[in-house]
Amino acid sequence: MGEEKRRRERQEEQSSPESYAGKPSLGEAIELICSLISLSHSIKVFAVKWQTIRNKLDELNSGLTAAENCDSGENPVLSTVIWAIIDTVNECYDHARRCVDLSYSGKLLMQSDLDVLLAKFDAHIRNLSAIYQAGILTQQFAIVVSRPGLGACRDDMRFYVRDLQTRMKIGDTEMKRQALVAFNEVVNEDDKYVKIVVEIGDIISLLATFLDSLEMEIQEESAKAISVIAGFDMYKSALIGAGVIAPLIRVLECGSELGKEGAARCLQKLTENSDNVWSISAHGGVTALLKICSSGNYKGELVGLACGVLKNLAGVEEIKRFMVEEGAITAFLKLARSKDESVQINSIEFLQSIVYGDESIRQMVIREGGIRVLVRILDPNSSFSSKTRERALRAIETLCFSSLGTINILLSHGFMDQLLFFLRNGEVLVQELALKVSFRLCGSSEEAKKSMGDAGFIPELIRLLHAKSFEIREMAAEALSSMVLVSRNRRKLVQEDGNIGMLLQLLESEEGNSGNRKFLLSILMSLTSCNSGRKKIVNSGSCPQTDSEPCSVESGILECAKRRRSAFHQRSLQVQNGVVPHSINALSRCMLLITGLGKDMYLGHAVGFNAAIFTFQ
């Protein structure tokens, strides 16, 4: 009873105006809190309870620090709150000491006491927040905690984040905005701040609530902050757990354009993981995103981001079907004509994504003019970027090469001339992709091979046999080996005097049993079926010998020899008897290089290959 009486007397003293002159300062309250936090780290029991208490103390500390330069004599309401806080801190200090000394009377009683303390600290935080929101403390009273410098310790960084959190919670609109701006600065510049934010936890929930703010600047800054955190795969689950999806979609529906950009950027990062896709759909995100893409009312940055989110969502079959039913194909073909690079690229990638492996959607895109749209992007006279053209080529490869009918539609739009242009003049990535598409095109039909030969592809493929990149050389050789299966293309290749010698020289320079060597040999073997080709091979310069190991091309030579053996029987006998014409010697040495055979096997295989060469004699 005596203690209860003293408590009432102290409350009466605190509530009297005369008591303000003798009350402790904010600095003293902050010092007590810091001391208690330090002591709590020594406690080995009730770890979870004390960690929660430390979090509340951190929050109170930040709130008091924000108003430390306020003259408490001018703010009696604040003084009352400070007295109450100090009382609770002193009470908590007593419990902390007993936990350190293990001198408490019982676990259940101590747990109950700690729960009571937590409730008191929550009440103090609410009271302090109410003081700020009522304008009793405004920005003019608040001390701005200095941002830690580079290399600052983790405790300083954590304290700074706590201070920003307090300003976001209890400050007026301007204080909240400034805290969010400062928050975005630190999380953009140092990843360690992001980790601290996730560890504190409450900040993410606070940012999620700001997405519904009627103050557009608050909404926009919070969307930026969430987008930064979403850039870390390990923290995406924390965002989902804090419930950011629904408010982000509400921003897409009702926010400012800048806010919508931040929300779309965040959703694009979150949907890189397919686990989050259904959550977007469940909250109406697909409809909101399609509206942004199809309305024509938004800038390229936002539309490009919305396209990117929808592309991620299209990986789910049911969502893809819904998009198609809602008119996504028409909308995205329109966007593919945009002059904004980001919009074009994202729309093309979306179309490529939805047609992949789906014949019915592929046919819909073709019927709505998809091939024509993509071919126009490749027009050399247009101003589209190389990156956009690269995406268009990839989309054409996905869209058109599954049937001969679509290839014919593609060629009817002048695609072959454009392909040849980029094979000649394209930047490295575009040229390499054009070469890949050329190879697929020449493998589609004999008519395609003939058309490519007539269009002038052979000289370009021969030129690319000298490219620095092994992959480009091999792809060019493979495409050329396919094209010379057509007789008119063989004649075109042979007509250029230097081509045969160049092919033999390239064959000599290739090492080992490489794929490129195989394709070069295939080209030469095809040329032996042409009289002029055989003559030019015979008349080509000699090749040096090598002692390399045998390679797989031997089988090709022997097969050719079998086909020609009867026509060359007499010359075979001459060679076996040691009568070897000079031209046969030169070719035999060349074939020794090609096959990599040892000298003891030289004569027999030279005869075999020469059988293919001299049938015309």
Please state, in angstroms and rounded to a whole number, the distance separating the CA atoms of residues 89 and 31.
11
By the 10 Å C-beta count (0-12 exposed, 13-18 middle, 19+ buried), 405 is classed as exposed
Of 31-45, 359-373, 576-590, 592-606, the range with the lowest mean pLDDT is: 592-606
Does residue 615 lie within any of the structural domains?
no
Residue percentage of the chain with pLDDT more than 70: 79
CB 557 within 8 A of CB 591: yes
**How far is 230 from 276, CA to CA, in rounded Å?**
12
What pLDDT, on the 0 to 100 scale, is given for residue 66? Answer: 67
Split into its structural domains, the chain has a count of: 1
| Residue numbers of the domain that contains 119 | 2-133
pLDDT at 68: 64
Query: 130 and 80 in contact (C-beta within 8 Å)?
Result: no
Return the pLDDT at 579. 45
The predicted structure's pLDDT at residue 571 = 44
pLDDT at 427 > cutoff 70 = yes
Residue 22 forms part of a structural domain: yes
The verdict on residue 381 lying in a domain is: no
Q: CA end-to-end span of the chain, whole Å?
A: 129
For residue 287, the tally of other CB atoms under 10 A from its CB is 15
Q: Note the pTM of the prediction, 2 decimals.
A: 0.68
Residue 67: name the closest of 82, 53, 55 by CA.
Answer: 82
* The pLDDT value given to residue 174: 85
Residue 329 contacts residue 367 (beta carbons within 8 Å): no
Q: Is 254 among the domain residues?
A: no
| Whole-number pLDDT of residue 581 | 44
Residue with the larger pLDDT of the pair 519 and 596: 519
Output the six-digit token pair for 446: 């004999």
Q: Where are the alpha helices (DSSP H) in 134-272?
A: 154-170, 173-189, 191-200, 202-210, 216-230, 236-241, 245-254, 257-270
Write the DSSP symbol of residue 387: H
Distance between CA 343 and CA 305 in Å, rounded?
A: 8
Per-residue pLDDT band for 467 (boundaries 50, 70, 90) equals: confident
- Which residues neighbour 283 within 8 Å (Cβ) at sequence distance 6 or greater? 245, 246, 249
The reply to whether 92 falls in a domain is yes
Q: Is 111 among the domain residues?
A: yes
pLDDT given for residue 590 in this prediction: 46
> What is the total residue count of the chain?
617
How many other CB atoms sit within 10 Å of the CB of residue 77?
14
Whether the predicted pLDDT of 602 surpasses 50: no
* Band (260; pLDDT cuts 50, 70, 90): very high
Residues 450-458, mean pLDDT to the nearest whole number: 92
pLDDT of 17 > 90? The answer is no
> What's the average model confidence in pLDDT over 138-149?
64
Determine, yes or no, domain membership for 76.
Answer: yes
Q: How many other C-beta atoms lie within 10 A of the C-beta of residue 149?
A: 7
Residue 586 has pLDDT above 90, yes or no: no
C-alpha torsion angle, residues 470, 472, 477, 478 (rounded to 10): 110
Of the candidates 260, 189, 266, 211, the residue with the CA atom closest to the CA atom of residue 235: 266
Report the pLDDT averaged over residues 521-535: 80
- 528 pLDDT tier (thresholds 50, 70, 90): confident
Would you say residue 553 has pLDDT above 80? no
pLDDT at 570 over 50: no
26 against 392, higher pLDDT: 392
Rg for the chain (alpha carbons), in Å?
Answer: 39
> What mean pLDDT value characterizes the chain?
80
The pair phi, psi for residue 174, each rounded to 5°, is -65, -40
- C-beta of residue 452 within 8 angstroms of C-beta of residue 435: no
In this prediction, residue 297 carries a pLDDT of: 84
Residue 105 in any domain: the answer is yes
**Does the pLDDT of residue 589 top 90, yes or no?**
no
Q: Could you report the per-residue pLDDT of 290-318, keeping only the tens digit for each? A: 999 988 888 889 999 999 999 999 988 99
